[in-house]
Structure 1
């Protein structure tokens, strides 16, 4: 009896050292059919039967009666429809439950090209193009690998002519679904407030984006020449718009902050807060080189205040001759100069000498 058992074990079609009891799978009536309630559990192997694998007939995977010869690699059962473009481990993308791929985002992240922003909304086949639609060749992580045609076809502005970077992310925001929203580093000339334009061509009028002048008059010459109240050209104003204007809120209101240091203190001293418009002193909008003091300082008050003052005259700009800071107490004293007024010079009008 022992000899017979040894002989039968040696003749097992399942190979040597097959430790599973025959009765776990077979019935006393014969080798076939197999027991419906087989006692053998695939969990004891290194390949647990989950999902669709649990529904597959044993012989679909075990083509040989020697079960240990069956490979646990996916490719041993499944044809590589991707033609070696994604490896042979089906489990990287698929599960045992179905062939649907629901971890594309994780796969791309692991491969160094995260699908974020607009890239998360496109179909796989928009980038991975093949005759079968099943090849997923690695395309590269550079923008130009996919967007070269977009780059070359763009004429407003002309990306090729202007030698723009082929790294789309330098100018475009990946989180936007179109190309129109950009994130150009314009820190050398901040596009804020009044300069917060969206159409580059407003400043880059000739389609060239290198060496565009940043001085105000390069863009605003027409505004400068058309300004008549006051007349910027005739008044000899600076073409540096920033001397009077700001980008917040815009062209108006304007304020010439250098007026104090260059001409006469109006933002400080006695005149601070005493005026609301340049036109109060500069009554001729055609020429702001002209000004008058007597719009505010009227007779007879000034006459009374200057009783007995040598050289006093009531005229449009005479006040400035003696009151250079606008302060009544800060009076110009000719005796402190190299030419004291004595004798007949005492009665001479200032303008007679200071022409």
Structure 2
């Protein structure tokens, strides 16, 4: 009789334990997720996920399709996930370029897909020779690819070019630091000092297209006040002397030519 009572107690305890385990198994592992198990899992395997993410507010594309659910959904109830890129991707630009990674990157790959198009929307669109530059040619001091806004002043990149320029020697002749006064974006050479016509016409009149560089007339690279007309006008000295025998102060191969011939024409 005592043996049967002991067996009865064990049977009761076993029944309670089975009921408890069965209750646990029936608890929804995703807490408040209101979906049927079959919408994500299959009888072939509990870890085979068939949930169609394309029907959500965040369809997956590119490399996002290769990401495991738990990489983005850190809790099992799959509550709404913040869609900002920086929630999953480390912002190496440290906020300097905003939070919209898609301006430069795509889901297909993390590499910049069209840096040129992005740069055209900044305060310094890239034109001419600037289009061919690598980002680091200008953004040389960036830490962790911050790519902060840089000054668009010419001398910030070309000051060394300015200081080393010869024929003419920019530093000695008092040239300003605005390179665009003489240079264009498409090529560093040839330079074009359009203001020259105010002193002597070389872009108009008979001299237009007859010279190739400043040194054609300016024979001293450090002093452009010194020039010679005879590098182009090869006058016979005897003939020139005879034509100027009545001109006071005349000297052959002299800058005084300019005083009488301000436009370079013989009839001036």
**TM-score of the superposed pair, with normalisation by structure 1:** 0.54
Q: CA RMSD, aligned part only? A: 3.5
Of the three residues 60, 66, 69, the one matched with 2:71 is 60
Given that 2:105 and 2:111 are in contact with CA atoms closer than 8 Å, whether structure 1 keeps it comes out as: yes
- Distance in 1 (alpha carbons) for counterparts of 2:182 and 2:42: 74
- Comparing 107-116 with 188-197, greater Cα deviation is found at 188-197
Aligned length: 227
C-alpha displacement at 1:208, in angstroms? 4.2
Q: 1:111 to 1:15 in 2, by over 3 A?
A: farther
1:71 has 2:82 as partner: yes
Q: 1:228 to 1:104 in 2, by over 3 A?
A: same
C-alpha displacement at 1:131, in angstroms? 7.1
- Distance in 2 (alpha carbons) for counterparts of 1:153 and 1:96: 46
Q: 2:214 — aligned with what? A: 200
Q: 1:181 to 1:221 in 2, by over 3 A?
A: closer
1:153 has 2:190 as partner: no
C-alpha displacement at 1:29, in angstroms? 8.0
Q: How does 1:1-355 map to 2 (within 5 A)?
A: 12=28, 14=30, 16=32, 18-27=33-42, 32-35=46-49, 38=50, 40-130=51-141, 134-176=145-187, 179-185=188-194, 186-188=196-198, 189-192=200-203, 193-194=206-207, 196-201=210-215, 202-203=217-218, 205=220, 207-208=222-223, 212=225, 219-220=228-229, 227-229=237-239, 231-236=242-247, 239=257, 240-241=260-261, 246=265, 256=267
Given that 1:224 and 1:232 are in contact with CA atoms closer than 8 Å, whether structure 2 keeps it comes out as: no
C-alpha displacement at 1:81, in angstroms? 2.8
Listed one character per residue, the Cα deviations across residues 125-167 of structure 1 (whole Å, up to 9, x for unaligned) are: 1111247673422212222222222223324333333332322
SS of 2:185's equivalent in the other structure is coil
SS of 1:187's equivalent in the other structure is helix
SS of 1:228's equivalent in the other structure is helix
- Distance in 2 (alpha carbons) for counterparts of 1:162 and 1:229: 35
Q: Which has the higher contact order (CA 8 A, sep 6+)?
A: 2
The ranges of structure 1 where at least 4 consecutive aligned residues each deviate by more than 6 angstroms after the TM superposition are 221-225
- Distance in 1 (alpha carbons) for counterparts of 2:68 and 2:169: 62
Q: 1:306 — aligned with what? A: none
- Distance in 1 (alpha carbons) for counterparts of 2:165 and 2:87: 48
**TM-score of the superposed pair, with normalisation by structure 2:** 0.69
Given that 1:52 and 1:98 are in contact with CA atoms closer than 8 Å, whether structure 2 keeps it comes out as: yes
Q: 1:165 to 1:41 in 2, by over 3 A?
A: farther
Gaps of 5+ in 1: 1-6, 247-253, 259-355
C-alpha displacement at 1:74, in angstroms? 1.1
Given that 2:219 and 2:228 are in contact with CA atoms closer than 8 Å, whether structure 1 keeps it comes out as: no
- Distance in 1 (alpha carbons) for counterparts of 2:67 and 2:214: 63
- Distance in 2 (alpha carbons) for counterparts of 1:130 and 1:14: 49
C-alpha displacement at 1:200, in angstroms? 1.8
